[in-house]
Each structure stands twice: as C-alpha cells, then as structure tokens.
A and B are shown apart, each in its own frame.
Chain A
Amino acid sequence: MSVVVEGLTKAYGRSSHALNGLSFTAGVGVNGLLGPNGAGKTTLIRLLATVLTPDGGTMRLLGRDPATERSAIRRRLGYLPQEPGYHRGFTVFEFVDYVAILKEMADRRARHDEVRRVIDAVGLTDVSGKKIRALSGGMRRRVGIAQALLGEPELVLLDEPTAGLDPEERLRFRELISRIGENRTVILSTHQIEDVAALCARVVVLKDGRSAFEGTPEELRALAKGHTWLGEKKGGLLSWRTGEGVFRSIGVPPEGARLVEPTVEDAYLLLLGEAALVAAG
C-alpha cells in the first residue's frame, strides 16, 4: 500500500478539529475522497503532500515516514492544491518549467521535454506560449493538473481537480486520470460523484474528520440497496422530486413507493444523511 494512515488527527487552533482519528489505506489506482464541505478532505491531502504535519497518528507514504524522509517523498509526489495560485505574468510553459525546477529537474533539455509532455497531456500545447493571466479559468485549472504530472510521480494528489471544467474537458480529464492511475497511486478529492463512480477503484467517504466508508464504488452503492424508493409521495430520510415528477426517497419507504436500483450518489446521501442535505444547501 502506498498510503497508510492511522488515527490521524489535525486541529487548526483549539476549537476546529479538521481530522479526528482518520484511518485509511490507498494503493495503486485511483482513490476517491468524498465528503461534504469541511469534512477534512483538503486537510488530509495537505498532510499527504507533506505541507502540514499531523498532531497525532501515523502516516506512511510510499513506504516512508514523512517526519524523517520528507524530501524523498516530495521527489515522488505530484500535488494540485484546491486553490492553486499561478504566477500570472509567466507563460504556461514558463510556469510549468518553474515548478519543474522546484522539483529539482536540473538538466534543461530533459526538463523542457518533460514540461512539453505534461502540457500536451492536458491539451494546452496550443497556448503554451500564452501568459497565464490570459487563460480562462478552466485552462488555468489544466495548468495546475499539468504541473502535478511532472516527473511521473508515484503518488498524485489532486484536490478537486475537476471543479470548473466543462463536461468535455472533464471527460478528457477522466481519461487522463485513469491512465495515470494504471501504475500509480492517485488520490482525488471531489464533489463530483459521477467522477468517482466512473474512475475510482476505491472510495473513502469522510465525515467530520473520520472515515465513514471505505471500499469500492460498487460496495458503496450496495449500501443503498433496499433503501431507495420511487413513488408519488414524499418521505424517507431524504426525498426530492425528480424531473419526471415522482419522488425519489432514501431510507424509510413512503406509502406506495417501489424499490429501485440505487446509484452511488443515493448511497452517499444515505451515508451522510442530514450533513449532505446541509452541504447541498
């Protein structure tokens, strides 16, 4: 397992406990992190990126201890923060090259080849000479993804990489991520449940800084089997009117409702109950 985390705790100040004894493991493949706003996804990813240090618990990343072998881990790490910043006066090429330098790629020719490779992988070759300030938000996002792929890292951490991408680009991105996940460990935090269902081998659902579920998307979906209903009346734990004018309910069956096959989203909502409702507004 490339990531083994046990009893991880992290608090910001005294009152805000972001992680409360989180345990999980992740191996080669795409691992999804789901959870409502404030569940601790970003905190976890920043701990895995060695940007934060935990208050308690143990972490092993790529078989190493981040407390003592941080540099060795950083050399094999790709990281896209949730709100990445860019030097807007740099061109796409210059910015990615800048990160490549921070990744200690010293040989210029080899570095430039690698920079071109990742820019091509996210489909930005045509604008690689453009200033970052002149790009659209989605394109900037792709610059962020490109830099996370530099040097073929063994552990790739992506914090909501698909936020702000159009559907076509999201599809391209899925393709790219699944390709990376073939022989690497990818940890992907997202609110896009379809992304998880489409490309993750495993899912971890975070709730209040703990793991509320760990398993395959299919296992997650199975949680809602026998708890998902369709009918004329509102009811259950959660219920909403679908486009067809009938109510989809999760939990206790409303009167006259019939059982239907759940989706991964149904199971996620069932798992989080009230918290999900609040987060969804």
Chain B
Amino acid sequence: MTWHMDGGLATRYADGDLDATLAASVEAHLLACAQCRGLLAPQVPRARLDRVWDEIAEAVDSPVPGPFERLLRLVGVRDHTARLLAAAYSLHLSWISAGALVLLFAVLAARETTRWGLVGFLALAPIVPVAGVGLAYGRGADPAYEIGLAAPYSAFKVMLMRAAAVLVTSALPALVIGFALLGQNWTVAAWLLPALALTSLSLVLSRWFEPAHCALAVSILWLAGIAGTNLREPSLAMFSTVGQLGYLTITVVSGVLLVARRKEFS
C-alpha cells in the first residue's frame, strides 16, 4: 500500500463527490485496507448507508418468481399483473397441461372414427377454458378472496384479467392439438366462439352465483346441446353458421352486460 485516505478524501467519497475513476480506486483500496474502512465508517451518513442496504436487500431477497410468473414476464406481462395471474390455480402449469392432456386423449381415443374424434374435440375444447375461468376467482377458488375484497384493487379487473389469461392459455394448446391431429381445416377451430360465449356467459352469471357453479351450469347446458344433436350419428349441427352467429351474439351481449354492470362485481 503506497497511500491511505485522509479525512478530506474520505468525506468527499462519503458525500459522493468523487469522480467515477477516483471513486473506483478508493473502493479498490477500501476492500483491502481495514484502516481506511475505519476512517470512512463514521463519515458515511446513516441515510446513505440505509439506501445502499435497501438496494442490496432488494437485489438479494427480491425472490425469483415461480416458472409461470417468469414465463408471463418473458412474454411482456408486467410484474404485478403476472403476480395477480399466478395466484389463480387454473393458471398454473399443472392445470394448463391437464386441460391440454384431456383434449389430446379425447382426440387420440376417437382417432379411428375421425368424425367422432372431431365432434368430441369440438365439444370438449370450450369446456376447458370455462372450467378454468370458473376456478380462477371468487370466494371458493381464491383463498385470499376476503382479503382482496377489502383491498382497493378492482375485483372486476382481476376477474377479467384472469379470464382472459385462462382463455389464451387453454386456447393455444387446443388450437395446436386441433390443427396437428385433426387436419388443416378451419372446422377444427369451430369451438372458439362457443368457448367465448360460454365463458362470458358464466362471467355474467357469477354476479349472483359462485363462479365454479356458473361454469358447471354452462358446461352442462353445452354438453346437453351436443348430446341432443349427436344422438344417432356424429353431427356438427352445434357448429353451423347459424350456431356461430348465436355464440357471437351471446358473447357480445354478455360483454355489454359485464361492462354495464361492472360496479356490481366488487
């Protein structure tokens, strides 16, 4: 060691008045020299130390979020939105993959008779997002629901965000499975509007009933329709143009109702 800090230098360093090069060489020296560290310690204002400490704490214990949250952030979702989504059980990877597996097995099981496979797939594909949305919010599904109710963040917004996320995370695998296993035909996407109609309808109903119950009721209604039109042979009657227009109408009307009555959801 050829030099040591004097009081003046220590003060200027503590106040942050040194230029970057000089500060860096002071720091390099400080790492090796206990004597100068002792000289510096009383000079550093408490507030500055606290700030530095906070920064270190932030870097060290800001925990690495779970895999789903990281994935969301990767695709550009803001960190607090990602946390609100990660709290929903039906947005966990286990749930999402379970939904995809159900569809996959349904298609594979009916593979030999392609037409049944298609009907089965189209019938089940909307149920996956409806069930997911039904388990994404509300008293029964959200363990901290009561705490959330007393918080200012809009419960309506949480509901919509989670519903949208569930729709996306269940639609993507369903689209892949459909196009990969059932052919490059737009018919394999005919479940999309029914899925939108059923989920938005169950959102509207959840103003009065537990979301999971709404999802169940809507799903039963849907499956009854499918069963009714497929009594004898596989039929795509539920997916006709008229049907699709009907689903579109239900979606739009539900959407309008949701927006108009959003106050009643918190």
Contacts and interface: CB of A to CB of B under 8 A. Distances in A.
A34 interface: no
Contacts of B151: 74, 99, 102-104
Interface in B143-168: 143-153, 158
A225 interface: no
A109 interface: yes
B63 A129 contact: yes
Contact of A86 (B62, B66, B80, B143): B143
A112 interface: yes
A116 B143 contact: no
Contacts of A103: 151-153
Given A74-B152, A116-B57, A102 B63 contact: no
10 contacts: A49-B149, A71-B152, A87-B144, A93-B63, A98-B83, A99-B148, A101-B83, A102-B148, A104-B151, A129-B63
Contacts of A49: 149-150
Interface string A68-84: 00010011010111001
Given A94-B83, A101-B83, A108-B80, A113 B54 contact: yes
A128 interface: yes
Given A71-B152, A98-B87, A103-B152, A129 B144 contact: no
B233 interface: no
A109 B58 contact: yes
A189 interface: no
A169 B144 CA distance: 23
B153 A85 contact: no
A108 B54 CA distance: 13
A188 to B, nearest CB: 16
A233 to B, nearest CB: 49
A280 interface: no
Interface residues of B, number: 28
Contact of A85 (B54, B61, B80, B146): B146
Given A101-B83, A112-B58, A81 B63 contact: no
Contacts of A93: 61, 63
B79 interface: yes
B183 interface: no
Contacts of B84: 98, 101-102
B147 A81 contact: yes
Given A74-B152, A77-B150, A102-B151, A87 B143 contact: yes
A154 interface: no
Contacts of A85: 142-147
Interface string A5-38: 0000000000000000000000000000000000
A162 interface: no
Nearest to B82: A101
A85 B148 CA distance: 11
B147 to A, nearest CB: 6
Interface string A143-174: 00001000000000000000000000000000
A147 B147 contact: yes
Contact of A50 (B54, B80, B145, B150): B150
B146 A102 contact: no
Interface string B80-101: 1001101100001000000000
A79 B83 CA distance: 20
Contacts of A95: 144
B72 to A, nearest CB: 14
B150 A51 contact: yes
A88 interface: yes
A108 B59 CA distance: 12
Given A97-B83, A98-B83, A108-B79, A75 B152 contact: yes
A278 interface: no
Interface string B110-145: 000000000000000000000000000000001111
Interface string B206-239: 0000000000000000000000000000000000
Given A85-B145, A102-B153, A116-B57, 15 more contacts: A49-B150, A71-B152, A81-B146, A81-B147, A86-B144, A87-B87, A90-B86, A99-B148, A102-B151, A103-B153, A113-B54, A113-B58, A129-B61, A129-B63, A147-B147
Contacts of B142: 85
Contact of B80 (A74, A101, A116, A128): A101
B143 to A, nearest CB: 3
Contacts of A79: 147, 150
Contacts of B158: 102
A211 interface: no
Contacts of B62: 112
B138 to A, nearest CB: 12
Contacts of A74: 150-152
Interface in B9-42: none
B7 interface: no
Contacts of B86: 90
